[in-house]
């Protein structure tokens, strides 16, 4: 069987991304749990090991090419789903203080199993993104917020920027529409205390395109945000 971890590690090294020795066993276990649990609940459409390593693990690890968190930095993964990118980031950087937030308890049940099997110390939060952003113990408590394929960037900014401390960053992982969404979200970022988005493009070995859309938070988010789901849907920023 091909050792997909060795291929992953080699690809990461060409991008200047290093992985700890512990990552090999942890990523293998994570992949096995993902495939096993996915047979009972819908976690991912990607189930082939090679595809998991490329389109989930490598995709998430590219985060470190554009964001280099300080040691013990706080990070929240909003709408984490099956744990992408938060679990992968925690495997690569065990020092990070990572919170995984999702609105579906069944996903958090899966992530609790992952946390236990991998011996990692994630904090799991069961909440809708827009509700969590108004909670004092979560609002503006993180140096980094990240999200992957959750919503259009103008909407996603309202979900995520309230979690970020001034001086921190919001990193959104997008597909090829990242450039157009970043332009569309510029006004939203400004209203929420962020700078205009910078966009960085990556092309994977299967020719699929990823965009990393990053904004630095320069002022506090007004207390009126995030709004209720109905208001967000009716009038996106």
Q: How far is CA 79 from CA 16, 83, 99, 218, in A?
A: 28, 9, 11, 23
Question: Of 26-35, 38-47, 200-209, where does the model show the most confidence?
Answer: 26-35
pLDDT in tens, 189-210: 999 999 999 999 999 888 989 9
**Do 22 and 28 meet the contact criterion of CB atoms below 8 Å apart?**
no
Does position 1 have pLDDT exceeding 70, yes or no? no
Domain limits, the chain: 70-234
pLDDT in tens, 94-133: 999 999 999 999 999 999 999 999 999 999 999 999 999 9
Instruction: Give residue 205's pLDDT.
Output: 85
Whether pTM > 0.75 for this model: the answer is yes
**Do 101 and 141 meet the contact criterion of CB atoms below 8 Å apart?**
no
Q: What is the 3-state secondary structure (H, E, C) of the chain?
A: CCCHHHHHHHHHHHCCCCCCCCHHHHHHHHHHHHHHHHCCCCCCCCCCHHHHHHHHHHHHHCHHHHCCCCCCCEEEEECCCCCCCHHHHHHHCCCCEEEEEECCHHHHHHHHHHHHHHCCCCEEEECCHHHHCCCCCCCCCEEEEEEECCCCHHHHHHHHHHHEEEEEEEEEEECCCHHHHHHHCHHHHHHCCECCCEEEEEECCCCCEEEEEEEEECCCCCCCCCCCHHHHHHCCC
Higher local confidence (pLDDT), 205 or 27? 27
Instruction: Give residue 3's pLDDT.
Output: 85
Structure confidence at residue 2 as a pLDDT band (50, 70, 90): low
Look-up: residue for tokens 């205390």? Answer: 193
Instruction: Give residue 149's pLDDT.
Output: 75
pLDDT in tens, 147-188: 997 789 999 999 999 999 999 999 999 999 999 999 999 999
Fold of 70-234: Rossmann fold (3.40.50)
Cβ neighbours for 107, distance < 8 A, ≥ 6 positions apart: 43, 80, 81, 82
- Of 143, 33, 139, 125, residue with least CA distance to 79: 125
């Amino acid at each position: 069987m091909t050792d997909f971890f060795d291929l992953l590690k080699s690809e990461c090294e060409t991008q200047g991304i290093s992985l700890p020795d512990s990552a090999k066993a942890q990523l293998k276990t994570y992949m096995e749990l993902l495939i096993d649990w996915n047979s009972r609940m819908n976690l991912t459409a990607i189930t082939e090991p090679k595809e998991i390593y490329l389109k989930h693990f490598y995709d998430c690890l590219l985060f470190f090419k554009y964001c280099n968190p300080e040691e013990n930095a706080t990070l929240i993964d909003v709408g984490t789903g099956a744990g992408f990118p938060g679990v992968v980031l925690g495997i690569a950087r065990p020092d990070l203080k990572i919170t995984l937030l999702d609105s579906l308890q069944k996903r958090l049940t899966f992530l609790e199993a992952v946390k236990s099997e991998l011996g990692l110390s994630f904090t799991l939060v069961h909440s809708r993104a827009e509700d969590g952003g108004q909670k004092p113990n979560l609002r503006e408590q993180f140096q980094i917020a990240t999200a992957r394929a959750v919503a259009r960037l103008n909407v996603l900014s309202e979900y995520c920027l309230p979690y970020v401390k001034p001086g921190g960053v919001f990193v959104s992982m997008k597909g090829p529409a990242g450039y157009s969404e970043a332009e569309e979200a510029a006004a939203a970022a400004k209203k929420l205390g962020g700078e205009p988005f910078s966009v960085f493009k990556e092309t994977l070995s299967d020719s699929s395109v990823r965009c990393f859309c990053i904004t630095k938070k320069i002022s506090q988010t007004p207390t009126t945000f995030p709004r209720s789901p109905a208001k967000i849907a009716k009038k996106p920023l």
